[in-house]
Amino acid sequence: MRQSRAFIPTMRDVPAEAEVASHRLLLRAGYIRQVASGVYTYLPLAWRVLKKAMAIIREEMDAAGGQEILMPALQPAELWQATGRWDDYGPLMMRLVDRHERPFALGPTHEEVITALVRDEVKSYRRLPLILYQIQTKFRDEYRPRFGLLRGREFIMKDAYSFDRDEAGLEASYRAMYRAYVRIFERMGLKFRAVEADAGAIGGSYNHEFMVLADVGEDTIAYCTACDYAANVERAEVPPPDPASAPDEPVRPLERARTPGIRTVAEQAAILGLPLEKIIKNVVYLADGAPVVVLVRGDHQVNEVKVKNFLGARFLEMADEATIRRLFGAGPGFVGPIGARDVRILADHAVRHLRNASTGANEDDWHYVGVNPGRDFQVEAYGDFRVAQEGDACPRCGAPLAFARGIEVGHVFKLGTKYSAALGAVYLDEDGRQREMLMGSYGIGVSRVIQAAVEQSHDEDGIIWPPALAPFDLHLLVVNAADADQLTVAEGLYDALTSGGLDVLYDDRPERAGVKFKDADLIGIPLQVIVGSGVKDGEIELKIRRTKEKRRVPLPEALETIR
């Protein structure tokens, strides 16, 4: 690809909301452009990288016995109602209605669609096991889309689903997927760890997350300094209390009203001149980090400003974990540091109270009337759970735990019969008995993982792609395109390399040398082939992007050395 013709719009002034290096670099180097919050166009360079990632994933999925399909993004509500997730997914799901007023969602995941498919088509044990996968666009109306491709609202996911006859079969499928994931992330050149994880909204019993180690990661992982134990700190070491012991209060129908311009709690706090912690007593998250309920201190001042309309407000400031920790670490309602796990227990509980409410009021200007937090939304704290922290011992061998931040790039779940039971995915076994299929589900954030690779591998000058993901095999530069000798050598090399099967980005632009070198480092192709003034001595230069190490190579040896 000639760079003079290539659509690589580099950018000098990156928007301030690009907080992390990988996001800034993908914008600056002309890989992606934002269309809306959490929604991106992949430009030619990014699309090449994505195709590399997808090829690796496809090879390993196929090798593990997977068969590729493609399901629709548009999914009818009935399927989700059958599993109860139409309500449980809450505002994270992008919902729409068709012209006949029928409700649909843009799929955040595909357990329902695939379980219904396999239910209809597979009736006998002879057709099991079955592993199907797809690479597809997913939609999640994330409460806080951020960090570019790391948390988008539209993103590319590889999702695979296994169907087995029994527990042993599920174990075999799960292991095959787990091993495939290890190979995929190794081939991508990532530093990662597989950790035991919490199940979240997908449900199911047993699961692992694959974490790319990076300081900007939103997850914290605890790992043993002696044995191979590693877990997301969200996962409780102390068993959570039995949810059945929580009081099961009757659900009260809620009345919804609209008040244009209703303020957020933060705005109210600013008007009152009160710190947030004076106003807010408790926060409950839905499983994916979207705050649904904020319980407000029941003091006079607060009632006066009618913050009891809390359900209609948007609590942007409360979405971030550091703030929650700061505000609630030892505050009322919570004991010990708050982790996603205890939040989830609370959320489960709140969702029961909010069944009627969870999808309607969390919109701008909408709220519930006559709601008295603390009376209508009692949320208990469970005292004996805490997340792992510095100084804790490994639950397996007792050695000290260490901690690191990670970006979740993959997640493998044993679902058991959660979806097959809800949707009636049964088969007849050898003895003619009807049994529920055992399922697993296995996701990789394809768009997320390519940015995670950049987060892990860059320097102050730009991206340093792991070779397996690089958009081109090498970057050929002619230092002075006006110099006939340099141009002749560069053009000759370009032809020879491309016809030899290499993917070459060829900087043939009439730009200053400094601009070309800067752009090449920014774009981050691992090997640069530089044709400059050395040609008069019959030499070119090879530069390793990662180490910046340069080496002169006599022209006749150039092709051999590069290959």
Residue ranges in contact with ligand ATP by CB under 6 A: 109, 140, 142, 151-152, 155, 157, 200, 202, 288, 408-411, 443, 445, 447-448
Q: Which is nearer to ligand ATP, 366 or 442 (CB)?
A: 442
Q: Does 288 bind Mg ion (CB under 5 A)?
A: yes
Q: Which is nearer to Mg ion, 287 or 438 (CB)?
A: 287
> With CB cut-offs between 5 and 8 Å by kind, which of Mg ion, ligand ATP, none does residue 410 bind?
ligand ATP
> With CB cut-offs between 5 and 8 Å by kind, which of Mg ion, ligand ATP, none does residue 151 bind?
ligand ATP
**Which of these segments, 57-65, 287-295, 355-363, 428-436, binds Mg ion (CB under 5 A)?**
287-295
> With CB cut-offs between 5 and 8 Å by kind, which of Mg ion, ligand ATP, none does residue 157 bind?
ligand ATP
Contacts with 66 (C-beta within 8 Å, 6 or more apart), sequence order: 131, 132, 133, 160, 180
The length of the chain is 563
> With CB cut-offs between 5 and 8 Å by kind, which of ligand ATP, Mg ion, none does residue 508 bind?
none
2: which DSSP letter? B
Distance CA 155, CA 118 (A): 25
Q: Which is nearer to ligand ATP, 156 or 525 (CB)?
A: 156
Q: Does 411 bind Mg ion (CB under 5 A)?
A: yes
Q: Does 234 bind Mg ion (CB under 5 A)?
A: no
Are 30 and 43 spatial neighbours (Cβ–Cβ below 8 Å)? yes
Q: Would you call the peptide bond into 239 cis, given omega within 30 degrees of 0 as the criterion? A: no
**Which of these segments, 19-27, 174-182, 281-289, 479-487, binds Mg ion (CB under 5 A)?**
281-289
CB of 340 to Mg ion, least distance (A): 8
CB of 119 to ligand ATP, least distance (A): 22
Q: What is the DSSP string of 145-206?
A: -BTGGGB-SEEEEEEEEEEESSHHHHHHHHHHHHHHHHHHHHHTT--EEEEE---GGG--SE
> With CB cut-offs between 5 and 8 Å by kind, which of ligand ATP, Mg ion, none does residue 23 bind?
none
Which residue is at the shortest CB distance from Mg ion?
A: 411
**Which of these segments, 16-24, 360-368, 403-411, 433-441, binds Mg ion (CB under 5 A)?**
403-411
Sheet holding 103-106, edge to edge: 74-76, 103-106, 94-97
Q: Which is nearer to Mg ion, 386 or 411 (CB)?
A: 411
Q: Which is nearer to Mg ion, 218 or 483 (CB)?
A: 218
What are the φ/ψ torsions at residue 461 (nearest 5 degrees)? -95, -15
> With CB cut-offs between 5 and 8 Å by kind, which of ligand ATP, Mg ion, none does residue 466 bind?
none
Q: Tell me the Ramachandran region of residue 402: left when phi exceeds 0, alpha when psi lies from -120 to 50, beta otherwise.
A: beta
Q: For the chain, give the longest Cα–Cα distance.
A: 87
- Cβ neighbours, 10 Å, residue 426: 17
CB of 409 to ligand ATP, least distance (A): 5
Distance CA 357, CA 516 (A): 57
- The residues binding Mg ion (CB under 5 A) are 288, 408, 411
